[in-house]
Structure 1
Amino acid sequence: MPILLAVFIALVQGVTELFPVSSLGHAVILPGILHLGIDQKAPEFLPFLVVLHLGTAAALLAYFWKDWLNILTGLFGAATPARAENRHVLKLVVLATLPAALLGALFEHKLKALFGVPLIAALFLFANGFLLFFGERLRKGSQRAGQGGGDLAALSWQGALAIGLCQCLAFFPGISRSGATMVGGLLSGLNHRASAHFSFLIATPVILGAAVLEVPKLLKTHAAPGMLQVSLAGGAVAGVTAFASIAFLMHYFRKHEFEALNPFAFYCWIAGAASAAYLLLA
């Protein structure tokens, strides 16, 4: 794989994995539109993909290292209000991760095989815009009813489980994992910043676990000469880009509490419709 192509794929991965615009959808759509010549069945593609996901997971751990340190140290020592809150967050993360872990183990590959074609992914990307847009509308309704706007400590176990179920929508290429979980967070009473924060926390075990599960296959793969260097370069680019994406989004959601997901909804509508039109007419 040429190094410039690897860097381009890594940049797209680092941005779209965290932005609520579906990394899987872009991974399915872009090769069909740009004719990148990527053979996803080639032996060198698997290690490259695994390293990209490891880079993204490393960025999440690096940005939220204090959160994870507090969560893990909260398991030990005498009960204090701070440790109790950290244990509560850990329970929420586990609950929100379970649905995707269970359903992913059972159906992920079947869903990707069924829907992993560019045109269908483009249509789901267009639908993702409605998910984000109407998520904001429903959230406004709950605020008028005197609900919503809370921080992570106020999230219930029912809310965490609902967010976890929303995360399962991302098995359909074009539906954003972060977008679905952010909308789930908003509808569970969180504000935008807390919703994004929790979305990124539960993304860490999901992305890291998905990459680690591919390591046994990786060890059996005989990649082309020089692919290790290309994969490491791609992982580094994906990690740096993902870290910058997280920093931008956390700042963005801290500053924008009113219809903050709408710009991403507009992008999904435009990108999804334009991609579908091109694929139908080309």
Structure 2
Amino acid sequence: MSDLSYLQAVVIGGLQGITELFPVSSLGHSVLVPALIGGSWQHLVTENADGNSSGSPYLAFVVALHVATALALLAFFRRDWARIIRAFGTTLRTHKVRTSTERLAWLIVVATVPVGLTGLVLERTFRTLFAKPLAAAVFLTLNGLLLLLGERLRRTSQARAVTAPAVETLETVSVGDGPVPAGPTGSLYGVTDRPAAQPSPSAPPAPSKSSSPWVDGLRPGARSRTLDTLSYKEAGVIGLFQTLALFAGISRSGITMVGGLLRGLDHEDAAKFSFLLATPVILAAGLLKLPSLTGPAAADIHGQVLAGFLTAGVAAYAAVRFLSRYFTTRTLTPFAVYCLLAGAISIVRFA
């Protein structure tokens, strides 16, 4: 293979940083875009899909991009991760889960186990069999259908919930100097260590992040759940959804968001849980293969690796910043439409 060019490094780095977090599949785009361009770009894909590609410069380069994306996520959610890590350490010392942050830490652990084990066993097999343009196009189309299905099922669930009797009172829990609603103002939204699921109806109400009342983790009418009301079994199911991202074309963030939506989370909480789940998975995948960056495969592309690394990191930070705001009011539907169109066009091109 000819050396990876700086142009390829920057383009693919930006592509990785954005599509890893947008619900459109980074692996699918890393296969389809070079294949659509053709020439030396397409050779990058065929080499990466080769079962004997462990020593390929491109694979070493992709490792650097994954590490950059994970570091961008850590930087953006640094305060959350600092609290989550401290809470996790506390549970190991006390052998108890007492706060919403401690519960969130274990939800992340439980949801990470399925994809971690599956990735260790099957990652190379999936890359060899399915990281090909036509397969990626088919799975990208399927990704669009899954996003639409998730939105449809959630709307159906909300429509049923609206017919339920309205809740007249607001239950709160006492934290620090005053009460907060038992809702999404928990560990992720400003209150980090409120007791988990210990309501006290005597306290006066206070506004939530959306300036609307929350009761027992549910929005009146819409009945959206909050993140810390998930059970460990439900977190494990969402983690199982994440394993589908091993197929090139299925988005990790998209499929985990669908899993969260199907368990009653709103788009904002589902997106944030998806980003938090992605961080240890992406970082671990990169660190496990980090030695390839110091081996002969990357000996002649250190400059390109650095260029791609920086581009991917900046792109990923910008992407998560944008999406964290986007999903406060919007849905997965535009991304579903994009995946359906891009997937259909690619199927026609590579069939």
User: Quick check: 211-220 or 86-95, which moved more?
Assistant: 211-220
**SS of residue in 1 equivalent to 2:72:** helix
Kindly state the Cα deviation for residue 29 of structure 1 after the two structures are TM-superposed: 1.3
Which residue number corresponds to residue 287 of structure 2?
A: 212
Give the share of equivalent positions with the same residue, in percent: 47
Contact map agreement 1:162 1:184 (CA 8 A) in 2:
yes
**SS of residue in 2 equivalent to 1:26:** helix
In the alignment, structure 1 residue 2 sits paired with structure 2 residue 5? yes
1:229 to 303, 312, 335: 303
**SS of residue in 1 equivalent to 2:40:** coil
> What is the CA deviation profile of residues 158-217 of structure 1, one whole-angstrom value per residue up to 9, with x for unaligned ones?
221111010011111111111100000001111100000000001000000000110233
In the alignment, structure 1 residue 85 sits paired with structure 2 residue 100? yes
Kindly state the Cα deviation for residue 76 of structure 1 after the two structures are TM-superposed: 3.0
**SS of residue in 2 equivalent to 1:206:** helix
Letter of the aligned partner of 1:92 in structure 2?
A: L
> What is the CA deviation profile of residues 51-79 of structure 1, one whole-angstrom value per residue up to 9, with x for unaligned ones?
11111001100000011011112233998
Letter of the aligned partner of 2:240 in structure 1?
A: L
**C-alpha separation in 1, matches of 2:260 and 2:285:** 23
Distance 1:36 1:240, change over 3 A: farther
Letter of the aligned partner of 1:94 in structure 2?
A: V
Kindly state the Cα deviation for residue 43 of structure 1 after the two structures are TM-superposed: 3.5
Which residue number corresponds to residue 79 of structure 2?
A: 66
**C-alpha separation in 2, matches of 1:143 and 1:246:** 27
In the alignment, structure 1 residue 113 sits paired with structure 2 residue 128? yes
Which residue number corresponds to residue 269 of structure 2?
A: 194
**C-alpha separation in 1, matches of 2:121 and 2:303:** 33
**C-alpha separation in 2, matches of 1:221 and 1:99:** 33
Which residue number corresponds to residue 90 of structure 2?
A: 76
Kindly state the Cα deviation for residue 224 of structure 1 after the two structures are TM-superposed: 4.3
Whose radius of gyration is greater, 1 or 2?
2
TM-score by length of 1: 0.92
Kindly state the Cα deviation for residue 243 of structure 1 after the two structures are TM-superposed: 0.5
Contact map agreement 2:140 2:250 (CA 8 A) in 1:
yes
**C-alpha separation in 2, matches of 1:272 and 1:217:** 32
Letter of the aligned partner of 1:50 in structure 2?
A: V
Kindly state the Cα deviation for residue 144 of structure 1 after the two structures are TM-superposed: 2.6
**C-alpha separation in 2, matches of 1:120 and 1:85:** 41
Kindly state the Cα deviation for residue 221 of structure 1 after the two structures are TM-superposed: 2.8
Which residue number corresponds to residue 168 of structure 1?
A: 243
**SS of residue in 2 equivalent to 1:255:** coil
Contact map agreement 1:21 1:175 (CA 8 A) in 2:
yes
Distance 1:26 1:166, change over 3 A: same
Which residue number corresponds to residue 11 of structure 1?
A: 14
**SS of residue in 2 equivalent to 1:175:** coil
In the alignment, structure 1 residue 249 sits paired with structure 2 residue 323? yes
TM-score by length of 2: 0.74
Letter of the aligned partner of 1:61 in structure 2?
A: L
> What is the CA deviation profile of residues 116-137 of structure 1, one whole-angstrom value per residue up to 9, with x for unaligned ones?
1101110110111100001001
**SS of residue in 2 equivalent to 1:70:** helix
> What is the CA deviation profile of residues 204-247 of structure 1, one whole-angstrom value per residue up to 9, with x for unaligned ones?
0000000011023333334343x112111111110110000001
Tell me how many residue pairs correspond in the alignment: 274
Kindly state the Cα deviation for residue 255 of structure 1 after the two structures are TM-superposed: 2.2
**C-alpha separation in 2, matches of 1:187 and 1:141:** 10
